Structure 1
């Protein structure tokens, strides 16, 4: 029988303890053990090391001098918010959004820079991101030398660990090394992540899935992204690849095969020449005004999405499916046919399994999710006395 890698197990246990303190702190050691199912010895060893590293702090609950209390005060553990700072960045088609956060993910500053990213060369994108990071860090009252890492999220397929972008709607040159370009400009450890994974982390840490360690997220943007959280961890494919939903084939294959992204993505709507130059708010106004042809396009998109979500529920059996993305601005014109086709397609035994949650969240949460990706790396990374051996590419300086 193959023995588990002790360094990997140490990293997993360390992450579990830190994440439990983040989610439930201040918290006593005994409750950490109950929530993580780790032994008291393991919890004590990990928390002692985390205290030595300055990542957590001790708080005393109660006062031994109080006449109303007996015994010693309870020793509670909490994250040290000033243990580290990170920056999360969202790279979208027409803007770059940055947030600076502390070790527990609190937003200290945020910044949005308008830019037509898809028309920029990779060095220009790197310059734009670097400028945004510097300005955001300055707004937070920090120096760049205090930032532990930067996480950049963008739509597409990203190889976690190498930062290689295999496909993206916002990068014109996939062969250009974006990871290296940003790292060189900032001199800070950099992570490249899919925006679907980033917003999935954000929902788990701060949003609609704070109490769910298993859920599925569908990002309905210009491309269709997919995030899967399992046992509190992002599910990744081979080589750490992020997941995508837009390439799912809806019907027979071949040159004429229709992909889900063609039916359900915002790009399908913008392909209509009458919508050129209009944002989704204007598209919604046209729908409300009774544009039958446009309504049919949006209804087909909603129907296709409903079938796809039913397939995801059949595959993963999640208790919750979260829908996010700018295309949700189309409202019930999109969502009503989505719900109808989902109900028709879902197998009867699973009909009441998954709750579908609509969250029309703003840009800051997407960027904050990228920051959460960076923090997640820190939670499982070596500092002083704890942490795993480094594998493949090192993210943490």
Structure 2
């Protein structure tokens, strides 16, 4: 309960600061005694700084009003977003403001864990240097990638980027950099970015579906990301759906991932080369508009299958809003028309109109910033001492006692 209250106070200051203690009480519904105790501790730890407004020394009248704001220098975080053809990194301060960012071209297709960890290390060191910092100044590292991830242990159970199953990515990064490391699905990272910095800032409940080289799912409920047993992230691409023309059931990924859409073309290799430069969706649109029948069919199938998947999500969760993000949305109406029509047809009548579909196109930096926000969210709820955050120990040791800057 102390950690929860601490998080809500810090997050309120982040969202609304500079802010007075009385307003923190109103927004968090915590007692004045609780807020006073928490903010005093946060000031002692150097996480929050008081600002005096109406100080008599500056010609004001009456008693100075004390406002609270986050200390941006209290921690520095590195967020990383990895896809098959690109890695994007940001360094943020304690408020989540970006100090530096870096995009690097990569080619990742079931690489050994040691190769991926080397690439991440190289990118982290470069981005940190670009921010004018050293590795010793970094409080936490957060890595987001497609696949099935155990948030609590940093184990990647399965990902198209890593050759080994059950890859201990967090352990590998701690060994390389000596920084506490979080590993999360890319869908959860971009959902956190939308919630903290983007179009979902006013929402406590929503669903996000990422449509790229994989199909991810994030569920935000009462401001908390849903995670399954062991902190597992849901992966929508593994959902079983009907195959084309009512064939045997298949996984959604085999119909609706970008690679599956590309496979319908007569010129697959050329489109795969475009994918490596991050321009696959735009090239698919050109081919469709040029009359590529195979691509038209595969895009139609993808849209219909995604519409059915979203109808099931609406049936189970009835979210007020569903965000669609990712590079595949560059297909525009060639994908969305069939998706929206199928969703409308397949949604149960009592739930018609319950869920609003929102198409969002955050850049790679937003996904990486979302990864950093996941680490910040942990730090906001962690007990601190003068040496830094002391978080609960997890299996892989990424959250040891009193690990500080």
Same-fold call, TM cutoff 0.5? yes
The corresponding residue for 2:80 is 89
The corresponding residue for 2:221 is 230
The corresponding residue for 1:331 is 332
Normalising by the residue count of structure 2, what TM-score does the alignment of the two structures yield? 0.90
- The Cα of 1:352 is off from its aligned counterpart by 2.5
Is the aligned partner of 1:221 residue 2:212? yes
Is the aligned partner of 1:55 residue 2:56? no
CA contact (8 A) 2:157 2:167 kept: no
Is the aligned partner of 1:72 residue 2:74? no
The corresponding residue for 2:383 is 382
The corresponding residue for 1:21 is 13
Is the aligned partner of 1:37 residue 2:29? yes
Residue of 248, 252, 262 corresponding to 1:256: 248
Give structure 2 stretches of 5+ with no counterpart.
272-279
Is the aligned partner of 1:133 residue 2:124? yes
Normalising by the residue count of structure 1, what TM-score does the alignment of the two structures yield? 0.92
Is the aligned partner of 1:12 residue 2:26? no
Q: Report matched runs for 1:53-202 at 5 Å.
A: 53-64=45-56, 71-118=62-109, 120-202=111-193
CA contact (8 A) 1:216 1:321 kept: yes
Structure 1 residues 363 and 389: CA distance shift in structure 2, 3 A: closer
The corresponding residue for 1:285 is 286
CA contact (8 A) 2:18 2:69 kept: yes
SS at match of 1:277: helix
The corresponding residue for 1:6 is none
The corresponding residue for 1:239 is 230
- The Cα of 1:340 is off from its aligned counterpart by 1.0
- The Cα of 1:256 is off from its aligned counterpart by 3.4
The corresponding residue for 1:368 is 369
Give structure 1 stretches of 5+ with no counterpart.
1-8
The corresponding residue for 1:314 is 315
CA contact (8 A) 1:14 1:387 kept: no
Paired with 1:100 and 1:389, the residues of 2 have a C-alpha distance of 21
CA contact (8 A) 2:110 2:160 kept: no
- The Cα of 1:65 is off from its aligned counterpart by 6.5
The corresponding residue for 1:392 is 394
Is the aligned partner of 1:304 residue 2:296? no
Paired with 1:282 and 1:30, the residues of 2 have a C-alpha distance of 55
- The Cα of 1:333 is off from its aligned counterpart by 0.6
What is the number of residues matched between the two proteins? 386
- RMSD of equivalent CA atoms: 2.1
- The Cα of 1:120 is off from its aligned counterpart by 3.0
Paired with 1:343 and 1:133, the residues of 2 have a C-alpha distance of 44
Paired with 2:365 and 2:213, the residues of 1 have a C-alpha distance of 18
